[in-house]
Amino acid sequence: MSIKELQRVRVMEQVMGGGLSLVEGSGYLGLSYRQSKRLKASYSIRGPVGLIHDNRGRRPGNALSESEKEIIMNLSSGKYANTNDSHFTEMLEEREGINVSRETIRRIRRSSGQKPKRRRRPVKHRSRRPRKASQGMLVQWDGSPHKWFGDDQPPCCLLDAIDDADSKLLAAVFVPVENSEGYLRLLSRLLIRHGIPMAIYHDRHSIFVRTDDLWTIEEQMQGRQYPTHIGRVLEDLNICSVQ
């Protein structure tokens, strides 16, 4: 199993055991509620084997004939014009019997000039977030600049990783300034001592997330902005980024 599939097993075990709701599990998995519901049903019947990545059974885009691509483009611009890429992929499988990956749908849509659908997010009202019930589910990252070693010493920044379940300090490093290199050092210590967490909670600092609204041609074709260096590392490790 890949790292992503092993993380799916961890999340689904929490869901089945009552430690997570299916809605929360969907967030950790980066899937829609409908997709997570299917995974849960598959896990209930087949166990971990039922969580093998969906795309293993789907044809890559270069395996589609021109007539099949034309059918997909016609459905995309007509019957399913108002769906985003993920929803359109689901509708093709469930209603049209066309089983292709979401990335293939992205490429077909962007190449035909159809721009990505971006959901309008409702205004969020801040409230106290309940702690996660299990260790390793959510780790909080934070940076605190201060004159930690006395007024006669230059200021530096303390980067720490704290388990959300019990406020236990998991890892910490001192760095001259808050930057990507420092957080990579923090992540390295966290992984060596405690393994891969399900999710990391952080602020919207540009170290973690893109804060610009500039899209390259390649990004428009893919329907997503390239992540920051830290964001790419978290994606490669299948760690959910929570803001």
Contact by Cβ (8 Å): 74, 109 = no
Which pLDDT tens digit goes with each residue over 84-139? 888 888 888 878 878 887 778 888 888 888 877 665 444 444 445 555 556 778 89
Q: Is the pLDDT of residue 14 over 70?
A: yes
The type of residue at 155 is P
pLDDT of residue 127: 47
Which pLDDT tens digit goes with each residue over 190-230? 999 998 888 899 988 889 988 888 888 877 776 778 889 99
Mean of the per-residue pLDDT values for the chain? Answer: 81
- Residue 226 in tokens: 């390239």
pLDDT of residue 123: 46
pTM: 0.58
Topology of domain 138-242, CATH: Nucleotidyltransferase; domain 5 (3.30.420)
- 12: nearest Cα among 31, 129, 109: 31
For residue 59, name the pLDDT band (cuts at 50, 70, 90). low
State the Cα–Cα distance between residues 85 and 107, nearest whole angstrom. 10
- Residue 196 in tokens: 């891969």
pLDDT of residue 178: 94
pLDDT of residue 139: 92
Between 113 and 184, the higher pLDDT residue:
184
State the Cα–Cα distance between residues 46 and 50, nearest whole angstrom. 5
Domain ranges of the chain: 3-52, 56-111, 138-242
- Residue 168 in tokens: 């236990």
pLDDT of residue 40: 85
Instruction: Average the pLDDT over 146-170 and give the result.
Output: 91
Which pLDDT tens digit goes with each residue over 20-39? 888 888 877 777 777 788 88
Please give the DSSP secondary-structure letter assigned to residue 93.
Answer: I
Contact by Cβ (8 Å): 52, 43 = no
Give the percent of the chain with pLDDT over 90.
Answer: 24
